[in-house]
């Protein structure tokens, strides 16, 4: 023990003796304390999952609730783990919306799993920061390897594999994925068109595209009037029509603008719409437009041969994104991005300060993922994806996906058998878009009834769904994908929805 620990202990012991305790003083890092406290935290979390169905899925607290419960300033002296865990139970958990609850059907799922959790633990335990290869070669190389594994499971074209100029990288989120490729595409064009051409650059997407693209455009300085948000409707189930893209591109070219980026969707956030990649990609390719495919949610399903068709045409894409943290049992955050030309990314995002120079990087022998992303630092995130792939195996993961889709079909059947409800768009994956259709109500009243129904169902604590709007209609979204969800939960959720609907209709 050096004077560091001795001094610390002296100080802490003094305080704790004053307080009558003195046992179990936590050192900054000590293997046996980590073991003891870590075991207690494992039990706390295991107990949480054991009782997860006892909590209201959507937190029912009011804004500002926690300020009432916690002190105004940090403690001067150590508190015990018991005190902290008591506070987690009494003060934090009531303010938690339980994403892993079997009754969570909002937004899209954000899967946790035993394997994903173990991977997070190991990553936090090793505590490395993997910005350059040399800062932990295993972090960079494992990431390249598991991204290749997954590219093969998805049957992505070989240009996306790490051999050659392509490759995969783990981003924190789909927002960061679309931002880095937008920046790469922007700078590629501006290198020839000149940086004053920024105001001429045009981005294309459907009106169903995730707001992440809008945000990326804001950050990258794309002029808002040059963001073409192409309209979709029920006739294509909210998929983008290639003719519309072609028209827009031609018009912009005639106006002297520079079409440079297209974002297509496989599984939109609102309704899992699937854009026709091959036809869109053809237009993008022939106009030298960077073609990005956002399959954040539905990409996971494409490891099943019967769903692979939804990314047919991905060979025309320049980049492809799927979030393993949504529906692939890998804890948030783990967003997978593949590009065909890593040079475009690194030319836009590289910096090379003296304090980060090292032999391997200077000799160009290695990938330094810092140049593929916004931040410098990065966690060892590939560990959790690797552990998910190994501890479950590809076949189990396919079964996992298929089971959620089966549950969605079951829920869809329940909804469609009730004349008070309608399915709004055909279900493709594990999201069911439906709504209450009260007889003789106009659209506005109908929307209001659906808003009320959603609020009532979510206030029950039994489930949490979210909503969207499609062609002006308020639509309820039941997105199935929590690891613990079973048929009985769908049955229970449907009963709550029917009961609340019945109450609303007869009020």
Q: Is 391 in the site for a second copy (CB under 8 A)?
A: yes
Burial 211-245 (b: 16+ CB within 10 A, else e): ebbbebbeebebeeebbbebebeeeebbbbbbebb
The single residue among 53, 118, 282, 346 that binds a second copy, judged by CB under 8 A, is: 118
3-class state of residue 475 by DSSP: strand
Residue 433 φ then ψ, to 5°: -100, 120
**Would you list the DSSP string of 132-200?**
SGGG-HHHHHHHHHHHHHHHHHTT--GGGSSSTT-EEEEES-HHHHHHHHHHHHHHHHHHHH-GGGGGG
Structure tokens given for 247: 């028209």
Site for a second copy in 225-264 (CB under 8 A): none
For residue 228, which of 287, 180, 187 has the smallest C-alpha distance?
287
CB of 400 to a second copy, least distance (A): 6
By residue count, the chain amounts to 507
Q: Is 17 in the site for a second copy (CB under 8 A)?
A: no
The single residue among 19, 165, 352, 362 that binds a second copy, judged by CB under 8 A, is: 352
C-beta of 41 vs 234, nearer to a second copy:
41
CB of 24 to a second copy, least distance (A): 10
Q: Is 165 in the site for a second copy (CB under 8 A)?
A: no
Site for a second copy in 72-111 (CB under 8 A): 72-81, 83-84, 88, 91-100, 107, 110-111
Site for a second copy in 267-326 (CB under 8 A): 269-270, 325
The single residue among 403, 420, 448, 498 that binds a second copy, judged by CB under 8 A, is: 403
CB-based contact 493:106 (threshold 8 Å): no
The single residue among 375, 413, 444, 503 that binds a second copy, judged by CB under 8 A, is: 375
Q: How many of the chain's residues bind a second copy (CB under 8 A)?
A: 178
Residue 151, strand partner residues? none
For residue 233, which of 270, 259, 280 has the smallest C-alpha distance?
270
Site for a second copy in 138-157 (CB under 8 A): 138-139, 141-142, 144-146, 148-150, 152-153
The single residue among 20, 54, 63, 440 that binds a second copy, judged by CB under 8 A, is: 63
CB-based contact 265:174 (threshold 8 Å): no
The single residue among 89, 215, 251, 495 that binds a second copy, judged by CB under 8 A, is: 215
Q: Is 407 in the site for a second copy (CB under 8 A)?
A: yes
Q: Is 420 in the site for a second copy (CB under 8 A)?
A: no
The single residue among 191, 250, 469, 499 that binds a second copy, judged by CB under 8 A, is: 469
Q: Is 331 in the site for a second copy (CB under 8 A)?
A: yes
């Amino acid at each position: 023990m050096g004077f560091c620990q001795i001094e610390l202990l002296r100080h802490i012991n003094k305080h704790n003796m004053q307080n009558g305790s003195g046992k179990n003083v936590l050192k900054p890092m000590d293997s046996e304390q980590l073991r003891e406290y870590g075991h207690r935290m494992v039990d706390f979390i295991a107990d949480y999952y054991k009782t997860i169905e006892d909590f209201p899925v959507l937190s029912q607290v009011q804004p500002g609730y926690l300020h009432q419960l916690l002190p105004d300033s940090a403690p001067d002296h150590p508190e015990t783990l018991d005190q902290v865990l008591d506070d987690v139970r009494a003060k934090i958990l009531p303010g938690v919306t339980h994403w892993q609850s079997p009754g969570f059907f909002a937004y899209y799922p954000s899967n946790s799993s035993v394997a994903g959790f173990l991977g997070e633990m190991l990553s936090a335990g090793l505590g490395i920061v993997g910005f350059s290869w040399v800062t932990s070669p295993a972090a960079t190389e494992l990431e390249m390897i598991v991204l290749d594994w997954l590219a093969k499971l998805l049957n992505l074209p070989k240009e996306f594999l790490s051999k050659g100029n392509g490759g995969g990288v783990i981003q924190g989120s789909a927002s960061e994925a679309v931002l880095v490729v937008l920046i790469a595409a922007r700078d590629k064009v501006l290198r020839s068109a000149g940086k004053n051409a920024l105001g001429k650059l045009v981005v294309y997407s459907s009106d169903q595209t995730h707001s992440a693209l809008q945000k990326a455009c804001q950050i990258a300085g794309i002029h808002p009037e040059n963001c073409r948000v192409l309209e979709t409707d029920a006739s294509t189930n909210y998929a983008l029509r290639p003719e519309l893209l072609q028209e827009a591109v031609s018009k912009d070219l005639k106006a002297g603008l520079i079409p440079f980026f297209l974002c297509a969707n496989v599984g939109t956030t609102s309704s899992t719409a699937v854009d026709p990649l091959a036809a869109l990609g053809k237009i993008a390719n022939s106009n030298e437009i960077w073609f990005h495919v956002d399959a954040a949610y539905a990409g996971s399903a494409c490891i099943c041969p019967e769903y692979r068709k939804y990314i047919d045409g991905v060979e025309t894409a320049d980049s492809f994104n799927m979030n393993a943290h949504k529906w692939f049992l890998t804890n948030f955050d783990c967003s997978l991005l593949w590009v065909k030309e890593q040079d475009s990314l690194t030319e836009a995002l590289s910096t090379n300060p003296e304090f980060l120079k090292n032999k391997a990087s200077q000799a160009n022998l290695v990938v330094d993922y810092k140049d593929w992303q916004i931040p410098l630092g990065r966690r060892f995130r590939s560990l959790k994806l690797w552990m998910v792939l190994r501890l479950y195996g590809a076949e189990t993961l396919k079964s996992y996906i298929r089971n959620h889709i089966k549950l969605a079909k079951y829920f869809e059947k329940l909804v469609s058998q009730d004349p008070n409800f309608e399915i709004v768009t055909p279900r493709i994956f594990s999201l069911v878009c439906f709504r209450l259709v009260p007889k003789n109500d106009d659209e506005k009243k109908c929307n209001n009834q659906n808003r009320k129904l959603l609020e009532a169902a979510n206030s029950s604590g039994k489930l949490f769904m979210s909503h969207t709007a499609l062609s002006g209609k308020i639509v309820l979204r039941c997105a199935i994908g929590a690891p613990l969800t079973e048929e009985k939960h769908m049955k229970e959720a449907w009963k709550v929805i029917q009961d609340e609907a019945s109450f609303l209709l007869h009020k």
